[in-house]
Structure 1
Amino acid sequence: MKKKSLNLAALAAILISSLVFYSCENESDPPSVVTEESVWKSDQEALATVNAVYPPLQRLSSSYSFLLESATENTISFEGADDEAGPLVSLFQTDINNWYPTKVFNYLYVSINEANRTVAKADSSYAGGNLSQDVIKLARARAKFVRGLDYLYLTQLWGEVPLILSTTSSKKEQTERQSIDKVYEQIVQDLTEAEADLPPFDQTRSNPSKGAANAILARAYLTWASKPLSQNEVGAISGSKTDPSAVTWDTKKLEKAVEYADRVINSGNYKLENDFEDNFGVPAENRSPEHIFTIHHDGDGQGDAQGNHQTHCPFTFRFDLYQDNHIGPADVTLLDRFSDKDKRKRFSLLTRLYNQDEPLVNSPQSASDYKEYHYVYPITSPRVGKYIHRNSKYPEVAPGTEAGQPNNINRIEIRYAEVLLIKAEALLNLGKATEAAGVINELRKRAGLSDLATLTQKDLENEWYLELFFEQKHWLNLVRWRKLVNTVLTETPKFEYYKEDYKSVESQVAKFGPENDGTQAGKVKTNYPFFAKVYKHLHSKTTNVSGRFYRFPIPKGLSGNDLGIEQNPGY
């Protein structure tokens, strides 16, 4: 393979308007590059420089859904025709030309380059001038925090990756993949050094804090403790429909995961919301005691690099039930994973919603005073509920217009509930199942469920799934537990829409009767083509899944150039 330099400074300045974008990807120009000089001239300039690390991450808030959620058994994407980026991930046909790995991989490195620029200028600015030394430390700490988070995503999604730690890196540094242990060592070093100079807490949760650094360190140590697969190990299973052998956990790293989780817990700065639903929506931003670190969004055209399209893509056509959402649940039976007693159910997967723009009376006094829509067969499937803008008085009611669902909701990168799950998983694998159950019971109590006397692996996996449904953790968990392939192969065929009844419009008509023919099924209008598309995606998942999907392909650059990095197995 001919190698070309991964010029990250140039990447940030590339115009990418020639690429094909979809309605969930309203891209403006890439973030501008801060002019590099030897030192900062003011505190304001120092903070402005470090702020350049965030716009690349704003571009990824909704992209993680298409890359991570769609690459599991329980999510499908109809974001365009089946040969476009989102559907290809959903069909398990991801390749090196797919936009989502291209976007995520490259913009993480753009963010890293801006972090490197900040660190270099901070190091040069210590000598003197009019700057506050505390501001220099803060800017440097924020940059190191983001760089650590960026590399954690990179190694989780791509394995061994180049470690680029300066703005003057060599061609070898830009293209040579480093061992996973070396990448994690750098992640821990960055986050540990960041934690030392960050404030204990920041009311603006998109500003890193000690709490945020400790939370991400807990996440990093848990993942590292699972002994992530090497290039050779992925290569050994890349063409087979088998998972790797079970995890042999690293005890010392599990203990570190508990240690850093406890730092967050014992800080007293965070706690679970009393009501699960209060985590979500603009009113929770910078107010929720559960939010630890978020990615700030003002929305498209509001000074935001890219609005968070989580508000749009899972609820694309709102109350038009006959259109295909860009991304959503793969099956109606996913509802059954939630107990009816589980208070997390209605905000995670909704089956009905009232349209605020269609009041049935002049002065509505309850949710039922608005027109109700049902997201169930034979019209459509359930919707993800966490990112829908809700009526401030009635959460079962939502605006029906696009203007009422702006892309201005912050991405919750990590919340206190995940810290509890991390601690519980580490304790379980340290042989402390009873203590782990006590941690999990905090989540179950809020959800309205009974306590567990002890914790099993199945219980743990269930709580991760229910608590963080569609928060872009499911693929990462399946990879850590080494259950990705088997989960797709065993769970997907259990789905209702996997049945031959949904294979085509003709097969559905044969079973349920044509519309308006007087039969029970024909008394309501149905969306036969929608279910035929779902059927196709579900069968494609089981046909195409293999060990290579433990990683995503090393993509091309934003301009379509070969990055010169050795490809992952099977691509």
Structure 2
Amino acid sequence: MKKNLFLQVVLPALVSIALLSCSDDNNESGGENGGGSSSSVTTRSEAEALANAVYGPLQTLSSSYTFLLESATETTISFEEVDDSKDGPQVSIFETTPSNWYAIKVFNRLYKSIGAANLAIEEISAANVSTSLTEADKNLFVARARFIRGYNYFQLVQLFGEVPLVLASNSTERSRASIDDVYTQVVTDLTEAYSGLPASDSNKSNPSQGAVNTILAKVYLTWGQNPITSDEISAISGTTDPSKPTVDTDKLQKAVEYANKVIDSGNYQLLADYNGIWGVSNENNAEVIFSIHHDGDGIDAQGNHQTHCGFTWPKSARTDPHISYADITLENRIPGDYDTRKLFSYATRVEYTDGVVDTLTWPVSIVRPGKWIHRINDGTYRAVDEQPNNIDHIDFRYAEVLLIKAEALFFLGRSSEALPLINQIRERAYGGHYEHGGRLTALTAEVLYNEWDYELAFEQKHWLNLVRWRTLLSQVKNTVPNYEYYKSEYQSAATIKEAFPELGNTVNAAFYARVYKHLHAKVDNLHGKFYRFPIPLSEDYTSLDVTPQNPGY
């Protein structure tokens, strides 16, 4: 397993490797470019361990992305700690600072993974071919490292904007590269990785050509809509979203072309059962394209806390969850009674094997994400009595490829070609009821945006979507004031009990008063700077010397 190789072989070698190392040289050097440097790698297992070291830091981020990419929107709130000054709630109420742990963790761990990738590329490229390390082995493991480096830079540029390009293990580069330069490097890494990877892999945590094409489709979809710059963020007035610029049609066409490669490969498909996508028993299914593997806490670098944070305390519905949906009305965000995505995305009730029932809604608790609840035989309601953290983290699945292509076509003015792709997703969601409310006859921007939301709820895509569409501010300020728990009745435990005297002590009044506080803070603290996260401190809370800071921080 990649985790064991990482822990046993590579971790000791990486302990001394910091975010940015000890030379002023930022060029890729050493064995990869034929510089004649020697390599300590002599066997396939050593090369594989170096390549697999890139995953360890990423295993620690499966829940951290949730706190950034869900909490910093209108859809969720974080009650990670009792104190709202703590890191999770800080993001939820738009008080994120450079010392926020989730910004620190994501930024630094992505660079640690990049550092491991740089080392793997250099050492494996410089290794001598032998009976225990073939040229094919070298090509595969270098390709995997390049894939992850490109993927990491795509994450960084979306979250933090201009970031340093650190492309060698001896680099101390701290200058922030332009957005175009970062995207160019992403494309370079992914395209150079392509030929060394298999077309597909039964283990979806291994990079494949299908994963390359998927991420390139998303890269060109995002890059083609002209990502927001620091200057544009600085110019935002009040809480008015910046204007969406004219799209780059060449890049959007590339998004279509790469999506077509995934679709035409025949290696992936929409599962017939939407609920069959998630769960330990469903890992590596035909819809998953790329995932981060998890064996659970105490085994990997860190178990998948995306599963834990959204359903924190099984059988303890009244205990504040680490993160949850922000309002009871969100369970009706997906309209109608026949869309199966509604049932599995928004959990309002969970029954356990021993008959205990969690009522995850008013007046006891709040609607929770349902996709990663460990269920018995993947049933609708019945769940296991605990919530282990060993479900693989799904980064990309086939439904997103269809959405990527549909969005690119829509912004290219080809809505008639985009509509069947959306209907293909909706046909799976509606099943036998597709002809009775599932089929769409027209595609507007609002319909397109909603389908992203319905299909990928709580899959760490929402903030990225709102930023790409330049609708983040309007989505928060126009949506949150209409929530049930935003109303004045929920201002305090006293006002709640006064408004609902018939409930007596049944209502979890202090909990809902805290929800009220978070929702009002989202609106009151809204600011254009939240189109990015701050360049954070290091993990020991000292400066990384990456300047300038993002606007507003």
- Fold shared by both chains (TM-score > 0.5): yes
Aligned ranges 1:387-398 → 2 under 5 Å: 387-392=372-377, 394-398=379-383
Is the contact between residue 206 and residue 290 of structure 2 (CA under 8 Å) also seen in structure 1?
A: yes
| 1:285 paired residue number | 283
SS of alignment partner, residue 152 of structure 2: helix
SS of alignment partner, residue 111 of structure 1: helix
Q: How far is the alpha carbon of 1:373 from its aligned partner?
A: 3.2
Number of aligned residues: 516
| 2:480 paired residue number | 492
Q: Kindly provide the CA deviation profile for residues 120-147 of structure 1, in whole angstroms up to 9, marking residues without a partner as x.
A: 1132126768520000000110001000
| 2:34 paired residue number | none
Distance 1:512 1:157, change over 3 A: same
Which runs of no fewer than 5 residues in structure 2 stay unpaired?
Answer: 1-13, 22-36
- Which of the residues 325, 330, 333 maps onto 2:329? 333
Q: Kindly provide the CA deviation profile for residues 26-62 of structure 1, in whole angstroms up to 9, marking residues without a partner as x.
A: xxxxxxxxxx962420111111110000000000001
| 1:473 paired residue number | 461
Q: Does 1:527 align with 2:508?
A: yes
Distance 1:13 1:324 in 2: 38
Aligned residue type for 2:118: N
Distance 2:47 2:18 in 1: 22
- Which of the residues 73, 76, 95 maps onto 1:93? 95
Q: Does 1:68 align with 2:31?
A: no
| 1:136 paired residue number | 138
Q: How far is the alpha carbon of 1:451 from its aligned partner?
A: 1.7
Q: Does 1:346 align with 2:353?
A: no
Point out 4+ residue stretches in structure 1 off by more than 6 angstroms.
Answer: none
Distance 1:37 1:157 in 2: 37
SS of alignment partner, residue 293 of structure 1: strand
Distance 2:492 2:527 in 1: 26
Q: Kindly provide the CA deviation profile for residues 247-298 of structure 1, in whole angstroms up to 9, marking residues without a partner as x.
A: 3211000000000000000001000000110001101112x10000000000
| 2:291 paired residue number | 294
| 2:308 paired residue number | 312
Aligned ranges 1:218-229 → 2 under 5 Å: 218-229=217-228
Is the contact between residue 129 and residue 135 of structure 2 (CA under 8 Å) also seen in structure 1?
A: no
Distance 1:193 1:534, change over 3 A: same
| 1:452 paired residue number | 440
SS of alignment partner, residue 150 of structure 1: helix
SS of alignment partner, residue 346 of structure 1: helix
For normalisation by structure 1, the TM-score amounts to: 0.88
Q: Does 1:407 align with 2:395?
A: no
Which runs of no fewer than 5 residues in structure 1 stay unpaired?
Answer: 1-6, 15-35, 359-369, 514-519
| 1:107 paired residue number | 109
Q: How far is the alpha carbon of 1:246 from its aligned partner?
A: 1.8
SS of alignment partner, residue 11 of structure 1: coil
Aligned residue type for 1:343: T
| 1:380 paired residue number | 365
Aligned residue type for 2:424: E
Distance 1:129 1:179 in 2: 44
| 1:29 paired residue number | none
Q: How far is the alpha carbon of 1:219 from its aligned partner?
A: 0.7
Q: More deviation in 41-50 or 242-251?
A: 242-251
| 2:32 paired residue number | none
Identity of aligned residues (%): 51
C-alpha root-mean-square deviation of aligned residues, in Å? Answer: 1.8
- Which of the residues 527, 531, 541 maps onto 2:522? 541
Distance 2:378 2:524 in 1: 46
Distance 1:259 1:39 in 2: 40
| 2:259 paired residue number | 261
SS of alignment partner, residue 307 of structure 1: coil
Q: Kindly provide the CA deviation profile for residues 134-165 of structure 1, in whole angstroms up to 9, marking residues without a partner as x.
A: 00000110001000110000000000000000
Is the contact between residue 247 and residue 482 of structure 1 (CA under 8 Å) also seen in structure 2?
A: no
SS of alignment partner, residue 170 of structure 2: coil
| 2:18 paired residue number | 11
Q: More deviation in 541-550 or 121-130?
A: 121-130
Distance 1:10 1:45, change over 3 A: closer
Q: How far is the alpha carbon of 1:231 from its aligned partner?
A: 1.4
Q: How far is the alpha carbon of 1:477 from its aligned partner?
A: 0.2
Distance 1:8 1:109 in 2: 14
Distance 2:108 2:218 in 1: 23
For normalisation by structure 2, the TM-score amounts to: 0.91
Distance 2:379 2:79 in 1: 30
